[in-house]
Amino acid sequence: MRMLHTSDWHLGISTGPASRTEEQRWFLEWLLDTLQERAVDVLVVAGDVFDSMHPPAEAQELYYRFLARVGQAGVRDVVIVGGNHDSASRLDAPAALLEAVSVHVVGGVPATDDRLKRMIAPLRARGSEAVAAVCLAVPYVHEYRLGIRTSDLDQERTRAAFTSAFAGLYRDLADEAQALHPGVPIIATGHLTLGGESTRDDYPQEIHQVGTIKGLSGDILDPRIRYTALGHVHRAYPIAGTSARYCGSPIPYSLSEMQLPRRVVLVDLLEGDGLGVEAIEVPRSRDLVQLVGAPEDVLAELVALTWSTRLPPLVHVLVHSAMAEPGLNNRVHEALDSHPKGARPVLVEVRQLAPPGQLSGPGAAAPSLDALVPEGVFGLMCDAGQLTRDDRDQLERAFATVASAHGPILDAMIEAIELPPSARGDGQ
């Protein structure tokens, strides 16, 4: 049996004011073609189908149109589980209808007595009605469903409780699968942070965003599971010591995700215990670009910008300036209007970033807190840290990525940050 593993579509997501729907529509068309060309029997979507619990109508239309056509590509069964971004009840609502077209949906852990049976999806290969494998369809599981009350536990006991609960869930599901369909291979899904300490380099959130217990060990997976399709982390990589792996998001949703190829994973369940795994790169339809520098330099780069993708890039513009320039936004858009490939071919987000030493240093007047934008506060912190130029450049680029997604949070931080009295000015 041949399976394709994908996850983290985040249908309905936007980058700033720019919708990513066109890229997502193109990806789903490419996916349908790939399913047919590679003769895939089973499609597994490991969570975060949507970007929010209340996705826009166009995102839901993409989802249902895709499911209506997937059978035409020769796929016998589809397994979809909910992620932490999804509404479990919204995904589960049409489950009975979708089951009629061999789409098995588990938005959240069922609250019924037969929950284990409902989380097991029988899978078929082409040309046969026999069950060729079973999938333990495990969605994102809130600690409440696991019976864990983290408020009563310290870090060590919280980690132990999560490990025990997840290991028990996968073990019980494997037992149920063997009882229902003896002798067939078992695959599984998971939407969680797996991989231990190293996960901190890939996804800077704790397991389920609770406490500081980092990623769980791959030991939670039952040894009878042949392959585990993981979602949640947006980078594609295997979990050491297991047959589990993340496929990552199919589209780069941040500047950092532009650094690595986007992938889906093709999995062949072979005779005996054999397993064939192939990562397939998803063609990129749009790039994310960051331009950093003085106003005139950035404007020149905008005019000279070129691209080879089918859609124009989304551009983050970060301008070095000692103070706000009232006409800068207009100048940026005028530069875009004069672009030889068409009017306004890119999205531009303009933020002010003070160059080193501009806002602080020997003899410099302390700025008023009211006069500082988030990047100004960050500049003060970098100055105080006495960083090298290379280190500072890397930090500023990382900060720009965060700022582009979390501007309102940073604005709130300015209100709350405790600068020394000399830096506040005017009694602020």
Per-residue pLDDT at 316: 82
User: Number of structural domains, the chain?
Assistant: 2
HEC sequence for 332-400:
HHHHHHCCCCCCCCCEEEEEEECCCCCCCCCCCCCCCHHHCCHHHHHHHHHHHHCCCHHHHHHHHHHHH
Across the range 10-17, mean pLDDT stands at 90
Kind of pairing, strands 237-238 and 186-191?
unpaired
pLDDT at 415 over 80: no
Same domain for 355 and 275: no
Beta partners for 228?
188, 244
Q: Rounded to an integer, what distance in angstroms lies between the CA atom of residue 285 and that of residue 365? A: 48
- Residue carrying structure tokens 């506060």: 377
Same domain for 350 and 271: no
Same domain for 243 and 362: no
Residue 205 belongs to domain spanning: 2-281
pLDDT at 231 over 80: yes
Same domain for 246 and 295: no
**What CATH code is carried by the domain that includes residue 85?**
3.60.21.10
For the record, the structure tokens of 9 come out as: 């579509």
Same domain for 178 and 307: no
Q: Rounded to an integer, what distance in angstroms lies between the CA atom of residue 121 and that of residue 104? A: 7
Question: Which of 246, 281, 316 marks a domain boundary?
Answer: 281
pLDDT at 77 over 90: yes
Q: Which of 10-19, 354-363, 375-384 has the lowest mean pLDDT?
A: 354-363
Across the range 160-175, mean pLDDT stands at 94
Same domain for 124 and 32: yes
Question: Which of 248, 281, 314 marks a domain boundary?
Answer: 281
Question: Which of 244, 262, 281 marks a domain boundary?
Answer: 281
Q: Rounded to whole angstroms, what are the CA distances from 9 to 5, 34, 78, 267, 347?
A: 12, 16, 15, 19, 21
Same domain for 71 and 26: yes
Q: Which of 40-54, 101-115, 328-342, 364-378 has the lowest mean pLDDT?
A: 364-378
Same domain for 200 and 275: yes
Across the range 161-190, mean pLDDT stands at 96
Query: Contact 85/46 with Cβ under 8 angstroms?
Result: no
Across the range 170-180, mean pLDDT stands at 97
Same domain for 143 and 269: yes
Highest mean pLDDT (candidates 40-49, 197-206, 215-224, 306-315): 40-49
Q: Please indicate whether residue 331 or residue 37 has the higher confidence score (pLDDT).
A: 37
Across the range 261-266, mean pLDDT stands at 97
Q: Which of 63-67, 376-380, 404-408 has the lowest mean pLDDT?
A: 404-408
Query: Contact 146/167 with Cβ under 8 angstroms?
Result: no
Q: Which of 127-131, 300-304, 316-320, 415-419 has the lowest mean pLDDT?
A: 415-419
Per-residue pLDDT at 297: 87
Same domain for 213 and 277: yes
Main-chain dihedrals φ then ψ at residue 159, nearest 5 degrees: -65, -40
